[in-house]
Amino acid sequence: MSLILSCSRTRHRLFPHSLDSCCTLVHLLVKSRRFDEALFLLRNLITEEGTPPLVLLEVLIESYRRCCSSIAAFDALVRACTQVGATEGAYDVIYNLRSRDCFIAIHAWNNFLNHLLQLNEIDRFWNLYRGMGSFGYMENGDFVWPNSVTYNSIINGFCKNGKLLLAEEMLRKMVKIGIEPSVRTYATLIDGYARWGSLEEALRLCNVMVERGLVPNNVVYNSILHWLYHE
């Protein structure tokens, strides 16, 4: 950690660390699965050093082969952007990678989709989701389909728009392709139905999740109680 602090604090001193050396360190940290430290360094470079995300991306790409790194380094950059509120930076990084015909980690997609939902940027969420089909998804170097986190985000997006039948259709689709819905999946749907005034459907889904061997948690119960109170 001391090396990371040194790299992030001394770039403007007499013998500063170069941006290249900092990005090389990011690659090494990612390869060592020290993701929190890689994120700390990237956040510092963006916020404290004022380095634009696209500049960081260029240097990360230049040092990528030299470090025999993985695309998780680019995933970390997207995540760092969302953590510091650099939404446009995350968006630019993803689309710049795509313009280079680079595969993008499914984790980067999931992180940015959830970030847009938290900002309530629903239209932008759907634009990004529709564009995902033409992009490549990667995980551990292999091509993968969207995972449970992706589907949970999409279901959440439908629920926020009041498109509850489409949300349930997405639930059926994920089951069909072998992805098991989680408590979070059902909690999102239950809150969606309750929020839009369909408490009977919300309670029906509670029964469905119990039948599937899932135990409703406090989020589920609090959601139902909240909307019962406001009915």
Q: DSSP characters for the chain?
A: -HHHHHHHH-TTSSSPPPHHHHHHHHHHHHHTT-HHHHHHHHHHHHHTS---HHHHHHHHHHHHTTTT--THHHHHHHHHHHHTT-HHHHHHHHHHHHHTT--EEHHHHHHHHHHHHHTT-HHHHHHHHHHHTTS-EEETTEE----HHHHHHHHHHHHHTT-HHHHHHHHHHHHHTTPPP-HHHHHHHHHHHHHTT-HHHHHHHHHHHHHTTPPP-HHHHHHHHHHHHT-
Supply the pLDDT for residue 13: 46
Please indicate, yes or no, if residue 118 is contained in any of the structural domains.
Answer: no
Please indicate, yes or no, if residue 163 is contained in any of the structural domains.
Answer: yes
Please indicate, yes or no, if residue 173 is contained in any of the structural domains.
Answer: yes
Supply the pLDDT for residue 55: 96
Number of domains in the chain: 1
Supply the pLDDT for residue 108: 79
Count CB neighbours of 228 within 10 A: 12
Supply the pLDDT for residue 4: 53
Please indicate, yes or no, if residue 160 is contained in any of the structural domains.
Answer: yes
Residue range 117-127: average pLDDT?
A: 82
Give the CATH number of the domain where residue 174 resides.
Answer: 1.25.40.10
Q: Which of 53-57, 90-94, 134-138, 189-193 has the lowest mean pLDDT?
A: 134-138
Please indicate, yes or no, if residue 176 is contained in any of the structural domains.
Answer: yes
Strand pairing category for 142-143 and 137-139: antiparallel
Share the mean pLDDT of the chain.
Answer: 83
pLDDT at 139 > cutoff 50: no
Please indicate, yes or no, if residue 126 is contained in any of the structural domains.
Answer: no
Q: Which of 17-21, 34-38, 128-132, 146-150 has the lowest mean pLDDT?
A: 128-132
> What CA–CA distance (Å, rounded) separates 40 from 28?
14
> What CA–CA distance (Å, rounded) separates 140 from 156?
26
Please indicate, yes or no, if residue 170 is contained in any of the structural domains.
Answer: yes
Q: Domain range spanning residue 171?
A: 147-231
Please indicate, yes or no, if residue 168 is contained in any of the structural domains.
Answer: yes
pLDDT at 135 > cutoff 60: no
